[in-house]
């Protein structure tokens, strides 16, 4: 019921149009009863009475009702299709917006392929139902009015025609109950297959690098087989019911032939009346024959709607404050006060433990530590991709939980560890944070990030299209484009998460000098494994198992002869303990 209420919120703006469409369906369906009635007149009053003048009126009636009915039917088919497409558009837009506002935790527990199947396959099931549900209403009108018309012709025939109705209702309930689980399994298998294909196409380079094509094909075959079996299982269910619906609908023909024929022979009804009832018979048969298919479509709609609603009803943990603080620009004073973080799926494990430090506007913070020490988690908390489970983070003295999320992130430029580039031009990727900026600004950002020279050497320069996720570029080139994208925003806080790991020492040094010469003074947070990337920082933190084990500047940390000192000598030997 909850998912149906959610669907009604999209349906409601089009309710009046649907009511108008159902009115047109009612008129067109009732006009369908004109032809059988006219045929009865044709048999009794034209053929049997040999009344040639009546023939003209009969033909005009048949042609006129057919033209009117066809015109009305064309209008409401267009109307329902337009409404269903509008509902689909609004729903898909709302769901996509919901996805874009979800936090990292949501995407950690939902596979991309599953979310894609919600937006494509499940959405189309809802669109199909929204466009064709009038057929259910049409079938009901056919059955009820045809049954009434049979009673008006002859009560005895009407009673015989209603004899199969109880059997049909019981059968429909059984089918509806049995196909529910089948369609739920089909949607699950479809999502799993979609997710598998998406992951393997995205990771095709890795598959080829390890020569695992045959292995992945065998895994795909298993997923494909599961989906096929789920479809076949559903087919087995409704194939057991649909022939029975067909049998019951055709049984009415036998009943009419026997009972109606006997009454016509005995003279209890005229031949014309028998022909009228016979033509009404298909209107009784049609709903019975289609009952199985209608049940399938309804259950498919309900299953898809339920899956979409379950995906979007989760509220993000990271939400905009009710009274959010925002101002023209952040200064960049950052303070961590006894900050700890535990992941939702493991409350017994602290990724960060009681982390405290502070840096002022324009200063540079360097963070170093072993893999899994919590370096990236610290900056993720600063950007509110996750919320700290204990302690407090402030910017300019304001707790970040009181700051407007979008304003906060708009003032932070971040080049992430996992570089993601869109299938767009190089210029488009660099200007992603400020799409309407001038080309001169894009060029400036590229030069500052050390990317301008290699971009100019590419076939179409800044207009070169990069492949999905930057396929076609080297790791160092992708890192420099990512850095340029972060710099173009001219942020108050610049975060570089291992951004220069794929660069040579000379290029890295050039970029560092460019960063020092930025026109806008910004706070910089550098996460790195190479000492050369952070040795000039005002404050360097050494993290180990989520805790700060050492802090200070380069000289102070060397003097402590701890982890930092050990890493320095592993990277540079005894070359020098001062500047490199």
Q: Identify whether the C-beta of residue 134 lies closer than 8 Å to the C-beta of residue 80.
A: yes
Residue 488, both tokens: 């173009």
Q: What is the DSSP string of 150-183?
A: HHHH-HHHHHHHGGGHHHHHHHHHHHHHHHHHHH
Mean pLDDT of 320-326: 71
For residue 49, what pLDDT band results from cuts at 50, 70 and 90? low
Q: Is 429 exposed, middle or buried (0-12, 13-18, 19+ CB in 10 A)?
A: buried
* 80, pLDDT greater than 90: yes
Burial of 96 (0-12, 13-18, 19+ CB in 10 A): middle
| pLDDT over threshold 90, residue 359 | yes
Distance (Å, whole) CA 416 – CA 432: 14
pLDDT for the residue 74: 92
pLDDT in the model for residue 45: 61
The pLDDT value recorded for residue 579 is: 45
Please say if the pLDDT value at position 78 is more than 90: yes
Asked whether residue 374 carries a pLDDT value surpassing 50, the answer given is yes
Distance CA 557, CA 542 (A): 9
- Please report which confidence band the pLDDT of residue 46 belongs to, taking 50, 70 and 90 as the band edges: low
Residues 487, 517: Cα–Cα separation, whole Å? 12
Q: Give me the pLDDT at residue 53, please.
A: 64
**With bands split at pLDDT 50, 70 and 90, how would you rate the model's confidence at 578?**
very low
DSSP states of 242-254: HHHHHHHHHHHHH
Structure-block tokens of residue 25? 């369906």
Confidence bin at 47 (pLDDT 50/70/90)? low
Question: What's the pLDDT score for residue 580?
Answer: 46
The reported pLDDT for the residue numbered 12 is 92
Pull the structure tokens for residue 415.
Answer: 């080049």
The proportion of the chain whose per-residue pLDDT surpasses 70, expressed as a percent, equals 87
Pairing of strands 352-359, 493-497: unpaired
| Domain annotation for the chain: domains and CATH numbers | 2-312 (1.20.1560.10), 332-411+493-500+509-573 (3.40.50.300), 419-490 (3.40.50.300)
Q: How confident is the model at residue 25 (pLDDT cuts 50, 70, 90)?
A: very high
pLDDT at position 519: 62
Contacts of 274 (CB under 8 A, 6+ apart): 260, 261, 263, 264
Kindly indicate the confidence band of residue 577, based on its pLDDT and cuts at 50, 70 and 90.
Answer: very low
Percent of the chain whose predicted confidence (pLDDT) is above 90: 13
Choose the weakest-confidence range: 43-52, 188-197, 522-531: 43-52
Return the residue matching tokens 């999209």.
10
Q: What is the pLDDT of residue 140?
A: 86
pTM over 0.85: no
Which is more confident, 288 or 434? 434
Higher pLDDT, 324 or 478: 478
Q: Of 142-146, 177-181, 549-553, which has the strongest mean pLDDT? A: 549-553
In sequence order, the β-bridge partners of residue 398 are 395
Contact 84, 127 (CB under 8 A): yes
SS3 track for 297-360: HHHHHHHHHHHHHHHHCCCCCCCCCCCCECCCCCCCCEEEEEEEECCCCCCCCCCEEEEEEEEC
CA distances from 415 to 220, 231, 392, 458, 513 (A): 35, 45, 24, 22, 17
Give buried/exposed letters for 204-239 (b at 16+ CB in 10 A, else e): eeebeeeeeeeebeeeeeebeebbeebeeebeebbe
Does the structure show a pLDDT above 70 at 347? no
CA dist 11 to 16, 74, 76, 372, 402, Å? Answer: 10, 22, 17, 48, 36
**pLDDT for residue 158 is more than 60:** yes
Angstrom distance (rounded) from CA 498 to CA 415: 8
Mean pLDDT of 63-91: 90
């Amino acid at each position: 019921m909850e998912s149906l209420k959610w669907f009604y919120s999209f349906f409601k703006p089009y309710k009046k149009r649907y009511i108008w469409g159902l009115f047109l369906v009612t008129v067109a369906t009732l006009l369908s009863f004109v032809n059988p009635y006219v045929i009865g007149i044709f048999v009794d009053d034209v053929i049997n009475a040999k009344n040639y003048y009546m023939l003209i009126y009969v033909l005009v009636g048949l042609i006129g009702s057919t033209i009117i009915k066809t015109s009305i039917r064309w209008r409401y088919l267009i109307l329902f299709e337009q409404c269903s497409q509008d509902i689909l558009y609004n729903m898909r837009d709302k769901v996509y917006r919901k996805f874009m506002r979800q936090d990292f935790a949501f995407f950690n527990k939902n596979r991309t392929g599953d979310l894609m199947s919600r937006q494509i396959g499940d959405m189309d099931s809802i669109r199909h139902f929204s466009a064709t549900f009038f057929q259910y209403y049409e079938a009901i009108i056919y059955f009820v009015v045809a049954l009434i018309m049979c009673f008006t012709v002859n009560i005895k025939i009407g009673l015989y025609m209603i004899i199969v109705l109880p059997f049909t209702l019981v059968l429909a309930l059984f089918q509806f109950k049995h196909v529910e689980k089948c369609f739920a399994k089909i949607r699950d298998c479809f999502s799993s297959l979609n997710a598998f294909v998406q992951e393997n196409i995205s990771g095709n380079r890795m598959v080829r690098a390890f020569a695992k094509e045959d292995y992945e094909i065998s895994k795909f075959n298993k997923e494909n087989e599961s989906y096929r079996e789920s479809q076949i299982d559903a087919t087995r269910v409704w194939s057991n019911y649909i022939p029975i619906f067909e049998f019951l609908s055709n049984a009415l023909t036998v009943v009419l032939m026997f009972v109606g024929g006997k009454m016509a022979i005995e003279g209890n009804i005229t031949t014309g009346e028998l022909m009228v009832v016979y033509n009404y018979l298909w209107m009784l048969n049609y709903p019975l024959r289609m009952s199985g298919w209608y049940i399938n479509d309804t259950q498919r709609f309900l299953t898809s709607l339920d899956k979409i609603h379950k995906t979007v009803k989760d509220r993000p943990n990271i939400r905009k404050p009710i009274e959010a603080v925002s101002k023209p620009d952040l200064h960049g004073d950052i303070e961590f006060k006894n900050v700890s973080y535990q992941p939702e799926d493991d409350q017994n494990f602290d990724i960060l433990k009681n982390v405290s430090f502070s840096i002022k506007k324009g200063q540079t913070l360097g963070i170093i530590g072993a893999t899994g020490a919590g370096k990236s988690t610290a900056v993720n908390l600063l950007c509110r991709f996750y919320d700290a489970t204990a302690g407090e983070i402030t910017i300019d003295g304001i707790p970040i939980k009181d700051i407007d999320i979008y304003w906060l992130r708009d003032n932070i430029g971040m080049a992430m560890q996992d570089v993601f580039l869109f299938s767009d031009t190089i210029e488009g990727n660099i200007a992603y944070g400020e799409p309407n900026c001038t080309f001169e600004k894009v060029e400036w950002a590229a030069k500052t990030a050390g990317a301008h020279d290699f971009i100019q050497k590419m076939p179409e320069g800044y207009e070169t299209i990069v492949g999905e996720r930057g396929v076609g570029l080297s790791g160092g080139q992708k890192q420099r484009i990512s850095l340029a994208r972060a710099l173009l925003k001219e942020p108050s806080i610049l975060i570089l998460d291992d951004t220069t790991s794929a660069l040579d020492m000379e290029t890295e040094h050039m970029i560092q000098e460019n960063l020092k010469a930025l026109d806008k003074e910004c706070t910089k947070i550098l996460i790195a494994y190479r000492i050369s990337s952070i040795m000039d920082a005002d404050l360097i933190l050494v993290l180990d198992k989520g805790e700060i084990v050492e802090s200070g500047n380069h000289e102070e940390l060397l003097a402590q002869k701890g982890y930092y000192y050990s890493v320095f000598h592993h990277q540079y030997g005894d070359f020098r303990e001062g500047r490199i």
